[in-house]
Structure 1
Amino acid sequence: MGLLDRFKAQRELHAQVKSCGADPFGVKMEKILSATEALIEGRPTILCGSNNYLGFTFDADCIEAAKETLDTCGTGTTGSRIANGSYHDHKALEQDLADFYGMKHCMVFTTGYQANLGAISTLAGPNDFLIIDADSHASIYDACKLGSATVIRFKHNDPADLDRRLGRLANEPGNKIVVVEGIYSMLGDHAPLKEFVAVTKKHGAYILVDEAHSMGVMGKTGQGVVEHDGVLDQVDFITGTFSKSMGAIGGFLVSNIEDFDILRVACRPYMFTASLPPATVASVRKSLAKLRANPGLMQKLWDNVDTLYEGARAAGFTVGAQKGPVVAVHINDPALAARAWRALLLNGVYVNLALPPATPSGTALLRCSVSAAHTKEQLQSVVDVLSGVGRELGILPTPAHAVAAE
């Protein structure tokens, strides 16, 4: 048996997807033109799959902060946080984030994936229980594999099922840690955090909320669903990323728990990874400061969400049940979804193709993400192209007047 023979099924599925005429998982951005446009296959293309929710990737102040720090601190730290990888701005960013969330403590990681991997695998010990939402992100599942706790899944966004499963653990020794996300990255639905927190506290458990897709998106000041649902002071841990609303890369963990700093020498993904480049830290500090100074940035995002979400729904597409910056367009057949993705790209619109088994319930999706940097004209163009492709491929019915004209 060959070393990679076990991936035969994935290879065959990938080949089927590529039969649409391109590899949806290997698209090359030949030139980035702005926060919302790029050259792909030589064509100017609207980027509607970038997660650049506030458009900070091309913010002039963020770029300038990165440039200045590049000149003074160089291209990288070449070391982990516990060796030679903690610079002044790493500590300053941790203080900024702690202040933003009103928490006492913060750790900054090199990626959002590592924040979940490190926090979850370290917090839950061999005699503990992790109770996770069935639709959790891969980083959460991988954290469960890395750790030694017993893992229990509950039905997606179902407080009653969480209550039942915690109830069965009532007489079991060990800590119970519930892990949920604020906004789920595929379908874009929001967790009912108020109900989850109530159930968690009823059973004396801890709760960790991953706000990767909701930081800078929800809540009066952009703290996420924890703020939107009024439970910020009741959650035990929040993780998040800088690769969405903050326009860069990195991750964090904030908490009020006592003895927090012991995690710095217990968390392997924190200890054994080189720290964030100082220029990236500087850009994130600037983007966070801009969000805090002007939370009204989120209103432009939500106005744009309305344009794409309502436009796609009015055209006849099935979209996610809850409105948000992730607009999931449901296409029942994976092969048809791949053809639709390719047709969109050929018409100057880039979205993400999301297929089983990465998607919940085996659903094939055209996963669109909205940015505050999009113009109304760009998003209307996306709706128009999406509608045209939908009719061309038979996903949407042809309007009666168009049939009559033929």
Structure 2
Amino acid sequence: MQDLFSKFDPLIQQREDLLATGLTDPFGLVMEKVLSPTVALCNGRETILLGTYNYMGMTFDPDVIAAGKRALDEFGAGTTGSRVLNGTYAGHREVEDALKDFYGMDHAMVFSTGYQANLGIISTMAGKGDYIVLDIDSHASIWDGCKMGDAEVVPFRHNDIEAMEKRLKRIPEGAGKLVVLEGVYSMMGDIAPLREMIAVAKANGAMVLVDEAHSMGFIGPNGRGVAEDQGVLDQVDFVIGTFSKSVGTVGGFCVSNHPKFEVLRLVCRPYVFTASLPPSVVATAATSIRKLMHGADKRAHLWENSRTLHKGLKDLGFQLGTDAPQSAIISVIMPDLERGAGMWEALLKEGLYVNLARPPATPAGMTLLRCSLCAEHSADQVQTIIERFARAGKVAGII
């Protein structure tokens, strides 16, 4: 009988070969204690965190924590129900109101994770007979939403406006069309040319969904993301986002101005058939979102951190994913998985945690060390990070 695990044998072997060299398991790290948004105890050592999505450092904000504690006391640990049954508490409405205020939009719908937000909205909006045109480097949750919805999927080369336009023009007349883009692509940290892409999409009669998971809170004059920064937010039909990045907790959402949007609460399966977020989580999210509306100083400091780290690593001789800093993500390209894992471990021994990213999650089969900066990283910490990269890079033979 065929072993259903056989298809994973190459990955199992690759992992065993990696660990046989004596390396720490880069995908099995345990944080014994988190001391702040930027420091944790890892393997008993105080470690600077450069591999979390805590872009605005809201996880330890006193107001955010206090809101969560109050909700836990007043509403208990969980809702034990779906949003369409008993799972809508006052806090769920409050966080949706906060999102509507944050984006200046008419409708907001909160999901239990950002993954579910993409899964739910994409699979519900584009079904059999419809077409989804999407960037080849789209997040796994976007691809899974496409697969679940049974629409015809038409990918195009990453950030290629002309390729996107060609795909759109080949779609049969009268068919439903959804263009799916991301503001910031999470592996390389590069941004999309949304202004041009949205213009092409609209000229070809398509609706547009933009995932702003890695830009919300940070990019744009009000932190609304790349679409706001490029002046095209009013042309986006659906903005998808998450609470697990800049908001500092967990959950996902979609905001929209479409007049029929509210019907999705009755037909979107990953919304209807999932228990709602715990009261403490939505309370922390609502408080954090409202504080991010006044986060201009934090955004400015985060941009300064990004520019400093990008220049520092480039000057050391590391190959980076972008020519200039475009977001809070700076990816460092490694020669291969083995040396990438060696560099990751050398950094951990220096007291610095980053993400080791490997295929198939990465574009073009690359191995990356992905650095995610935080607004709470001090200027001194950023200099320390650069110094630790210099020492680890020499130990690992990367520079």
TM-score, normalisation: structure 2: 0.97
Aligned to 1:112: 114
1:156 paired to 2:163: no
1:320 Cα offset (Å):
2.1
Q: Deviations over 1:219-253 (max 9, x none)?
A: 00000001100001111110000000000000100
1:359 paired to 2:370: no
Q: Write the distance in 2 (CA, Å) between the matches of 1:350 and 1:387.
A: 14
Which amino acid is the alignment partner of residue 35 of structure 1?
A: P
Query: Does structure 2 conserve the Cα–Cα contact (< 8 Å) formed by 1:20 and 1:338?
Result: no
Secondary structure at the aligned position of 2:368 is classed as: strand
User: More deviation in 336-345 or 172-181?
Assistant: 172-181
Which runs of structure 1 show a deviation greater than 4 angstroms over 4 or more consecutive aligned residues? none
Secondary structure at the aligned position of 1:249 is classed as: coil
1:127 paired to 2:125: no
User: More deviation in 93-102 or 244-253?
Assistant: 93-102
Aligned to 1:245: 246
Q: Write the distance in 1 (CA, Å) between the matches of 2:291 and 2:329.
A: 22
Aligned to 2:381: 378
Q: Write the distance in 1 (CA, Å) between the matches of 2:216 and 2:307.
A: 19
Aligned to 2:330: 327
Secondary structure at the aligned position of 1:289 is classed as: helix
1:97 Cα offset (Å):
0.8
Aligned to 2:264: 263
Aligned to 1:211: 212
Q: Write the distance in 1 (CA, Å) between the matches of 2:84 and 2:265.
A: 8
Q: Deviations over 1:117-170 (max 9, x none)?
A: 00101000211001110000010011111111000101101111101110111x
Query: Does structure 1 conserve the Cα–Cα contact (< 8 Å) formed by 2:133 and 2:155?
Result: yes
Aligned to 2:7: 6
User: More deviation in 86-95 or 212-221?
Assistant: 86-95
Which amino acid is the alignment partner of residue 162 of structure 1?
A: M
Q: Deviations over 1:290-309 (max 9, x none)?
A: 11133222111111112211
Query: Does structure 2 conserve the Cα–Cα contact (< 8 Å) formed by 1:80 and 1:271?
Result: yes
1:339 paired to 2:345: no
Secondary structure at the aligned position of 2:333 is classed as: strand
Q: Deviations over 1:270-326 (max 9, x none)?
A: 011111111111111111111113322211111111221111111111112141200
CA-based RMSD of the aligned residues comes to: 1.1
Pair 104,156 (structure 1): closer, same or farther in 2 beyond 3 Å: same
Q: Deviations over 1:377-402 (max 9, x none)?
A: 22211111111111222211xxxxxx
Which amino acid is the alignment partner of residue 159 of structure 2?
A: N
Q: Write the distance in 2 (CA, Å) between the matches of 1:335 and 1:228.
A: 38
Structure 1 unaligned blocks of 5 or more? 397-406
Which amino acid is the alignment partner of residue 151 of structure 2?
A: A
1:20 Cα offset (Å):
5.1
1:391 paired to 2:394: yes
Query: Does structure 1 conserve the Cα–Cα contact (< 8 Å) formed by 2:102 and 2:290?
Result: no
Give the aligned length. Answer: 395
Aligned to 2:86: 84
Aligned to 1:400: none
Write the mapping of 1:226-245 to structure 2, written as runs, cut at 5 A. 226-245=227-246
Write the mapping of 1:6-25 to structure 2, written as runs, cut at 5 A. 6-18=7-19, 19=21, 21-25=23-27
Q: Write the distance in 2 (CA, Å) between the matches of 1:164 and 1:250.
A: 35
Q: Write the distance in 2 (CA, Å) between the matches of 1:4 and 1:246.
A: 37
Pair 270,20 (structure 1): closer, same or farther in 2 beyond 3 Å: farther
Q: Deviations over 1:313-353 (max 9, x none)?
A: 11111112141200100112111000000111111100000
1:95 Cα offset (Å):
1.6
Q: Write the distance in 1 (CA, Å) between the matches of 2:294 and 2:217.
A: 12
1:173 Cα offset (Å):
3.3
Query: Does structure 2 conserve the Cα–Cα contact (< 8 Å) formed by 1:241 and 1:249?
Result: yes
Aligned to 2:353: 350
